Amino acid sequence: MGETEALAARGQSINLDEVCHYLPHRFPFLMIDRAEEFIEGQSITGIKAVSANEPFFPGHFPGNPVMPGVLLIEAMGQSGALLSSKTLDLKPGQQTIMFLGVEKGKFRRPVVPGDYLRIPVKLLKIRRNIHFYEGEVRVNDAVCAQCTFSAMAVPSKA
């Protein structure tokens, strides 16, 4: 495999500006800082550096900060939405990728301040404009959370 093919197989990186171009989320609810390994129509890996200053830590849980599991699912959803939005080249403000369902959710390890999340998401199939994904949240080689989920592009409200 030549260098060009190897780079294509690894996918491309997406910086924060491009994340914000395709996703409507903003701080404090933007759950990915950037993405790597984007392969159009196939897969992406969202990245998030978890800071001790995250707004949810003071209340979840005082003295024992743990990132809420629902936010780990949201991070997978945002990574999937970025994959589909960039693949479909959705125009900001015209369409938004919205969750439809979450299945087979499992939480395996807590996420704490200082963790560096890798969020690999694969697009499994598209049926009747519904996108089906599987995703994980990983810290190093440990799986922290995983689920399958579905979403679709809907018109944005003006």
For residue 120, what is the domain's CATH number? Answer: 3.10.129.10
Tell me, what amino acid is at 142?
A: A
User: Is 60 annotated in the active site?
Assistant: yes
CA angle, 65 as apex, 64 and 71 as ends, to 5°? 140
Could you tell me the residue range of the domain that residue 146 belongs to? Answer: 3-155
CA 89/CA 64 separation, integer angstroms: 41
Which residues partner with 146 through β-bridges? 106, 136
How many distinct structural domains can be found in the chain?
A: 1
Read off the DSSP letter of residue 60. Answer: S
Quick one: pLDDT at residue 139? 98
Q: Find the catalytic residue in 21, 25, 60, 131.
A: 60
Quick one: pLDDT at residue 4? 47
Quick one: pLDDT at residue 99? 96
Full-model pTM: 0.93
CA 77/CA 98 separation, integer angstroms: 9
Quick one: pLDDT at residue 59? 95
From first to last of its 158 residues, the chain has per-residue pLDDT tens of 545 455 456 799 999 999 999 999 999 999 999 999 999 999 999 999 999 999 999 999 999 999 999 999 999 999 999 999 999 999 888 999 999 999 999 999 999 999 999 999 999 999 999 999 999 999 999 999 999 999 999 998 85
Do 146 and 104 form a contact (C-beta atoms < 8 A)? yes
Quick one: pLDDT at residue 84? 97
Read off the DSSP letter of residue 66. Answer: -
CA angle, 70 as apex, 54 and 149 as ends, to 5°? 130
